[in-house]
């Protein structure tokens, strides 16, 4: 008799209660089903993030950015990523002229022939030591070709001398250090690097 009553109770259980229990079971199954997929998605996202980071901030890409920033006088890039090149550029421009238009023309023509090539890039503690082959004209020697001209004609002639095809290009090897940071590198220039982009002009300083 008691068993029959339990069966009747089970048979006439509230439909809402059965529905709640069914939903609870489904949620448990869903959690078990989607859990591994969520973990896989997180791992894939992390792999893509670090892969894109590595691609976007590779050594070769960084060196290309350095060359571009020099040729275009991108002071913002220099200030954000380089150790002292922005200060050197400021001195270089003001040593040539106080006229900002002439400064811009000087930088553009002085670095028109600049070429920077990666020779070696071994990993060392904290970053990468990059050996570069740097080629450019020597702006001091180029000025010697026009220094005897009248001052009013000197600037235009000098700009042509700096940017002409077949200019006397000097090449040198130099190292820079790329210190790793979360996104990309912090760039530390050497004296040889500065001398290289100036076409060996520092060699003329006694």
Nearest to 63, CA basis, from 191, 197, 156, 168:
197
Q: Cα(162)–Cα(111) distance, rounded to whole angstroms? A: 8
What integer pLDDT is reported at residue 166 of this predicted model? 83
What pTM value is reported for the model? 0.72
| In contact, 101 and 93? CB cutoff 8 Å | no
Task: Give the side-chain half-sphere CA count within 13 A for 200.
Answer: 13
DSSP notation for 7-52: HHHHHT--HHHHHHHHHHHHHHHHHHHHHHHHHHHHHHHHHHHHHH
Q: pLDDT tens digits, the chain, 206 residues: what are they? A: 545 555 544 545 555 566 666 666 665 655 555 455 555 555 555 444 444 444 335 899 999 999 999 999 999 999 999 999 999 999 999 999 999 999 999 999 999 999 999 999 999 998 999 999 999 999 999 999 898 899 889 999 999 999 988 888 999 999 999 999 887 899 999 999 999 999 999 998 75
Beta bridge partners of 135: 115, 171
Q: Cα(144)–Cα(184) distance, rounded to whole angstroms? A: 40
What integer pLDDT is reported at residue 55 of this predicted model? 38
What integer pLDDT is reported at residue 79 of this predicted model? 96
What integer pLDDT is reported at residue 36 of this predicted model? 55
Helix/strand/coil for 99: coil
Beta bridge partners of 183: none
What phi, psi does 147 have (nearest 5°)? -65, -20
The label of the residue with tokens 């004609």 reads: 153
What integer pLDDT is reported at residue 54 of this predicted model? 46
What integer pLDDT is reported at residue 27 of this predicted model? 58
What integer pLDDT is reported at residue 35 of this predicted model? 52
């Amino acid at each position: 008799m008691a068993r029959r009553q339990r069966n009747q109770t089970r048979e006439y259980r509230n439909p809402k209660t059965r529905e709640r229990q069914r939903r609870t079971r489904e949620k448990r199954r869903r959690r078990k089903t989607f859990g591994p997929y969520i973990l896989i998605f997180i791992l894939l996202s992390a792999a893509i993030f670090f892969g894109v980071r590595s691609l976007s901030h590779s050594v070769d890409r960084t060196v290309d950015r350095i060359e571009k920033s020099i040729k275009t006088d991108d002071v913002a890039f220099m200030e954000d990523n380089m150790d002292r090149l922005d200060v050197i550029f400021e001195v270089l421009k003001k040593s040539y002229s106080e006229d900002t238009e002439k400064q811009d023309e000087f930088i553009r023509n002085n670095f028109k022939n600049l070429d920077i090539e990666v020779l070696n890039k071994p990993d060392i503690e904290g970053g990468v030591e990059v050996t570069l082959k740097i080629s450019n004209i020597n702006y001091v020697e180029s000025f010697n070709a026009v220094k005897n001209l009248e001052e009013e004609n000197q600037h235009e002639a000098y700009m042509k001398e700096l940017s002409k095809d077949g200019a006397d290009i000097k090449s040198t090897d130099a190292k820079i250090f790329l210190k790793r940071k979360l996104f990309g590198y912090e760039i530390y220039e050497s004296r040889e690097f500065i001398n290289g982009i100036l076409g060996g002009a520092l060699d003329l300083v006694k």
